[in-house]
Structure 1
Amino acid sequence: MRDVFGFENQSKLYNTFRPEYPKPLVDYVILSVTSTHPPGLCVDACKGALDSCVVDVACGTGLFTRQIAPYFDKVVGLDQSAAQLQLAIECPDLYENISYLNYDAYDLTGALDKLEIKSSDVTLVTIAQGFHWLDFDKFVSMLTENLPSNTIFAPIGYSRPHVMNKEFLLDESLKECLCNPDIVLSEYDEKFTTYEKMINSLFEFLLPYFDFNRRVLEKFYQDLPFEDYFESREFKMFPEILETDWYRFQQFIFSISAYRICLEKNEDEIAAGTFDDPLVKLLRFVLETEGKLDLTNSSDFTSAEDAEVLKTIKFDILWNFFVHILSN
């Protein structure tokens, strides 16, 4: 099976330019497995105190794996992408209690057997920004049939980013929009409205190139029938607004498999100069709007000089992080 994260330099881009999961979200997940501990237990008090195992499925480069590693005795990171796992293993802040394994997500017990870990020791299974890649019924039925009934399952993710403007940030009456998957954030400013529409067009353009239903992710997995398998279901949003720049946004798009597959499938049109790349179109509009297009020197804005120009254009971006806490 093809490694869809095996494009040149893609795993490094993924590890560098994908957003870090907010600490409140990580804390929320950690506390979901501390029901046997004293009420009101501080998350920081859990560091090194949870004598159990967590399995991070579709762990990729280990972004979320490393964030939860300090709290558990054993941490297992599973992924089918050899390129992603290689970078996870080579990460300088690799925790000694993490075991990474190139393994099929649907054979969780086989992976645990290989690592000589008992299924009964697993108190938490996480999957961060990866559940949409899997067959829902096949994975969840495997999970519920092979792990203890008190094991917590926490699918985590984030939808596409939204650009922001300062006026929106100052308007408290609009903050409730942050958790709306159909959100429109930039009504006050023509520039940001256009940026937002062009980013939306970019993701719409890429829809046919995703190996999964992207709209499931954009709806925060809320339409998935978790209730068919789990008795308890909690859902929580963790919207986070961060300052970024257009170079980081460009590199984030480069880390997306669908974009790389799109370029691969349209390589003849690209070579002929007839491919209308929505990312290039967006960046050209940004550079024109900011009066910096004449400072660039490549048509696709990928030169080292172009990178420095894109880094100078700062803006605020919204990431809608979410998590489901599921148990029986």
Structure 2
Amino acid sequence: MKDNFSNQASGYSKFRPSYPPELIEHVVSFTESREMALDVATGNGQVAQLLSEYFETVYATDISENQLLHAKRQLNVIYKKLPAEKTDFHDKQFDLITVAQAIHWFDFDQFYAEVYRILKPDGIFAIIGYGLFKTNPESDKILSDFYYNIVGPFWDTERKYLDENYETIPFPFKELETLHFQNKFTWTFEQLVGYLETWSAVEHYKAHNNENPIDLIRKELELSWEAGNKTVVFPMLLRLGKLKM
């Protein structure tokens, strides 16, 4: 698993969009028991915090110590620095295992073998994510050019799985039918730019060119943003599965 986000841990904690509580409630509704859940590649613990309302104990793992330092503390959430593909958990330990906006970074074969080891036979495995957001038409044009052309060459190859709505990732589970969700926010221009700063491609561009690519679009984007409704809508991605016995 790659660590693309340690450097942006503070911004990630502040500007990354949260997950809809109704999506988490939907995922949890499939579980038969609510003793223990695991959120893999938890980042700043967004999903782990939401799961803590439903489960007695939630474990949350990440390879980035910096990300874990920015995670909110909760009595029934236990944070551990561990890779997704090799954990120290017991066999058949979890009722639910979630991965939010991170599955594309994993070694699929190794990770899925670990899921099969630590998930209970009747447990649920959930892949959660979000695609490129939409906003007002003028800002969308600028942001689309920024995403595909300006920082496009600096996306890791794994990003394609998100662009393909997680439909093309390996999924060796008995798939369950789910509802569709979206996440809607009203953002200031500072929040918009703050979110763009968390993109791994922006970080790669900075390292390669020694300049911030957002500066190339900042003025034009701000004008379109202030003239628009400042609404952003993220399409949510969700795949649920059970172990094939």
How high is the TM-score relative to the length of structure 2?
0.89
Q: Secondary structure at the match of 1:119?
A: coil
Alignment match of 1:141 (pick from 89, 113, 129): 113
1:251 matched to 2:194? The reply is yes
Runs of 4+ in structure 1 deviating by more than 4 angstroms, as ranges, are: none
When you count helix as a share of all residues, which structure comes out higher? Answer: 1
1:223 matched to 2:223? The reply is no
Contact 2:36 2:96 in 1 (8 A): yes
Contact 1:245 1:314 in 2 (8 A): no
Moved more, 207-216 or 68-77: 207-216
Map of 1:19 onto structure 2? 17
Contact 1:246 1:314 in 2 (8 A): no
Shift of 1:208: 3.3
- Equivalent pairs counted in the alignment come to 242
Shift of 1:281: 3.1
The amino acid across from 2:147 in the alignment is: F
Alignment match of 1:61 (pick from 20, 44, 52): 44
1:202 matched to 2:150? The reply is no
How high is the TM-score relative to the length of structure 1?
0.68
1:326 matched to 2:221? The reply is no
Structure 1: 5+ residue runs without aligned partners?
Answer: 37-49, 113-117, 165-191, 291-309
Q: Deviations along 1:123-164, whole A, 9 cap, x unmatched?
A: 100011111111223311332245333221101000111113
Aligned pairs for 1:1-328 within 5 A:
3-7=3-7, 10-34=8-32, 50=34, 52-88=35-71, 91=72, 94-108=73-87, 110=88, 112=89, 118-164=90-136, 192=137, 194-204=138-148, 205-226=150-171, 229-267=172-210, 270=211, 277=213, 279-288=214-223, 315-328=230-243
The amino acid across from 1:263 in the alignment is: K
Q: Secondary structure at the match of 1:160?
A: coil
Contact 2:27 2:126 in 1 (8 A): yes
CA distance in 2, matches of 1:288, 1:211: 30
Contact 1:133 1:211 in 2 (8 A): no
Structure 2: 5+ residue runs without aligned partners?
Answer: none
Larger Rg: 1
Cα root mean square deviation, aligned: 2.3
**Identical aligned residues as a percent:** 24
Identify if the C-alpha distance between structure 1 residues 198 and 107 changes in structure 2 by more than 3 Å, giving closer, same or farther: same
Contact 1:195 1:282 in 2 (8 A): no
